Amino acid sequence: MSLLAAVLGVAALATACLPAAPAADPAPPPTTTVPPAAICGVTASSAADPTAPGPAATKGEYVAVVDTGGETQTLTRDVSTFGDLVEFQADAASRGDVVLLAPDGEVHASAESPTWGFVDAGFDAAWTAASVDGRGVRVAVLDTGVDASHPDLVGHFDPAPAGMDFTTTDPTDPAKIVPTPGVATDPNGHGTHVTGIVAATAGNGLGVEGGAPAATIVPVRVLDDEGAGSLSGVAAGLRWAAGTGPTQGRADVITMSLGSGIDSGVVGQALAEIENPANAQYTHPIVTIAAGNNQCAATAYPAAYAGINAYTNSPVPGSNPPLFLPPMPQVIPVSAVCKPGVTGDCPSTTPFPDDGWQLADFSSLLPSNVSGPTGVAAPGAMIDSTWPGGYRSVSGTSMAAPFVAAVAALVREHCPSDDAAAVAQRIESSAASSRDLGPSGRDRLYGYGMIDARAALQSCS
């Protein structure tokens, strides 16, 4: 079965999981003629359709932003004629909905700075207050690989061959995975973006800064160049990432920005194994998992296995012999928030005065298991991070999960005696006390609340 990377795309507006706001009274008709509202001299009536360029298009570099339903992709092409531009538009449209087609231009980084999510999630305050940067903490990223040569990521990996690839199969037996040492490239880009959110280098004057900028990254490729993989590959990747052997991952934190609608128990069993305190083969790491991008639908798997899950007292349906999964307090599912006025992906209305944050309109709900709703929310809309060959802004719960992994890395450094369950508890309780968004108490929109890195660190200072 195929396991797809978590959906990143800017989804169509969907607010089914939020109570509807009362309709506003219609504005009275104007009694006088006034100039139309304008931004930089452009009015709504004069603005051209960005996806329909006129014949005045000229030679140069153009950029197309495409919503594929799986992520927001940015494409570029050098055009010489209007015909070239029309062809570029058609090629972009073949990939998805073209939401912008415009001339590109060269930019230069004036200084590195954290994206809005790090500021809003309390990372700036945490770095200053606790003087932590994730040093000595190993974070495994189960994804499409990583561009280890990226200038904002160089130096974050074990000496070669770093990482392990679980996307290769035996040519004589395609059902058999052949683990392949060494992951230094990312043919998709998704894993590099996730990695930058965790650990892009601080103080080098380049691009962006990650949440735990001195953490060691352990790349584990479980998704191919199309962003797809198998449940068995993810399970094998988890076991290797948490393995304590000298050639294994030895991860303190694992983050997975992937999901599936398939509930086979394969990944749940692997999670249960690596978190079993009686099994010395594993490090028993904290695990953060994207909830999914199904617009207010149920949590994707494996994020749905978190907490005191539904299979603690009942077996996984169809499992033979019956598979019961233990409570998994070390596993944190993550939904995504946007920031109205700063990012896209925000519902037009919300019934909750949430201090400027809302559940992103693409985000799945968090799971509600035996003990009630679990998980946390984190920034996930228009997040700037590393990409093979440069940088890119991408939206999705795939971006939210590594924010929580970065907080976990800072807490592991600051509170070295904590086990994974204690780290998760600090992250969740600090979110509940400082950022309880939505209805009072835990809910399926934000779980315990939005992460607050400084508050999580203060709890063990």
Convert the pLDDT of each residue in 291-328 to its tens digit.
999 888 889 989 999 877 778 878 887 777 888 888 89
Most confident of 76-80, 109-113, 338-342: 338-342
Q: Are strands 331-338 and 376-379 parallel, antiparallel or unpaired?
A: parallel
Q: Residue 349 — very low, low, confident or very high, per pLDDT cuts 50/70/90?
A: low
Q: What is the pLDDT of residues 24-50, one digit of tens each?
A: 344 444 444 444 332 112 122 323 222
Quick one: which of 115, 121, 88 has its CA closest to 102? 88
Encode pLDDT of 120-141 as tens digits. 999 988 988 888 999 999 999 9
SS (H, E, C) the chain: CEEEECCCCCCCCCCCCCCCCCCCCCCCCCCCCCCCCEECCEECCCCCCCCCCCCCCCCEEEEEEEECCCCEEEEEEEECCHHHHHHHHHHHHCCCEEEEEEECCCCCCCCCCCCHHHHHCCHHHHHHHHCCCCCCCEEEEEECCCCCCCCCCCCCCCCCCCCEECCCEECCEEEEECCEECCCCCCCCHHHHHHHHHHCCCCCCCCCCCCCCCCEEEEEECCCCCCEEEHHHHHHHHHHHCECCCCCCCCCEEEECEEECCCCCHHHHHHHHHCCCCCCCECCCEEEEECCCCCCCCCCECHHHCECCCCCCCCCCCCCCCCCCCCECCEEEEEEEECCCCCCCCCCCCCCCCCCCEECCCCCCCCEECCEECCEEEECCCEEEEECCEEEEECCHHHHHHHHHHHHHHHHHHCCCCCHHHHHHHHHHHHHHHCCCCCCCCECCCECCECCHHHHHHCCC
* Percent of the chain topping pLDDT 70: 77
- Give me the residues paired with residue 74 across strands: 65
What is the per-residue pLDDT for 32? 43
Q: Which two tokens stand for residue 29?
A: 């008709």
- In the prediction, which pLDDT does 369 show? 80
Q: Per the confidence metrics, is the pTM higher than 0.85?
A: no
Neighbours of 259 (CB within 10 A): 28
Strands 60-67 vs 72-79: parallel, antiparallel or unpaired: antiparallel
Look at the chain and count its residues: 461
Report whether pLDDT(457) > 70: yes
Residues 225, 231, 234, 235, Cα dihedral to 10°: -160
> Which amino acid, one-letter code, is at 143?
D
The torsion region of residue 363 among left (phi > 0), alpha (psi -120 to 50) and beta comes to beta
More confident residue, 60 or 244: 244
Taking Cα atoms as reference points, which of 258, 281, 286, 159 lies closest to residue 216? 159
Q: Which letter, b or e, does each residue of 94-132 get, where b requires 16 or more Cβ atoms within 10 Å of its Cβ?
A: eebbbeebeeeeeeeeeebebbbbbebbbbbbbbeebeb
State residue 16's pLDDT score.
Answer: 37
Q: What is the pLDDT of residues 249-294, one digit of tens each?
A: 999 999 999 998 888 788 998 999 999 999 999 999 999 999 999 8
Please say whether the beta carbons of 148 and 182 come within 8 A: no
Is pLDDT at 52 greater than 70 in this prediction? no
Rounded-to-integer distance, Cα 47 and Cα 56, Å: 15
| Band (15; pLDDT cuts 50, 70, 90) | very low
Distance CA 319, CA 70 (A): 31
- Checking DSSP bridges between strand 390-394 and strand 368-369, what pairing results, if any? unpaired
Rounded mean pLDDT of 12-20?
35
- Give every CB contact of residue 270 below 8 A, 6+ residues apart in sequence: 234, 235, 236, 238, 239
- Torsions phi, psi for 408 (to 5 deg): -60, -40
Tell me the average pLDDT of the chain.
Answer: 80
Q: Which amino acid is at 341?
A: G
- 438: confidence class by pLDDT, cuts 50, 70, 90: confident
Domains delineated in the chain: 49-103 (no CATH), 111-458 (3.40.50.200)
Q: How do residues 352-392 score in pLDDT, each as one tens digit?
A: 666 678 899 899 999 988 788 999 999 999 999 999 999 99
- pLDDT over threshold 90, residue 108: no
Query: Torsion angle of alpha carbons 371, 403, 19, 432, nearest 10°?
Result: 50
Using pLDDT thresholds of 50, 70 and 90, give the confidence band for residue 157. very high
Q: Quick one: tokens of 45?
A: 């009536």
**Which of 394, 376, 375 shows the shortest CA–CA distance to 385?**
394
> Please, which pLDDT band fits residue 440 given cuts at 50, 70 and 90?
confident
* Structure-token match 């076991």, residue found: 239
pLDDT at 77 over 90: no
Angle, alpha carbons 443-448-453 (nearest 5°): 150
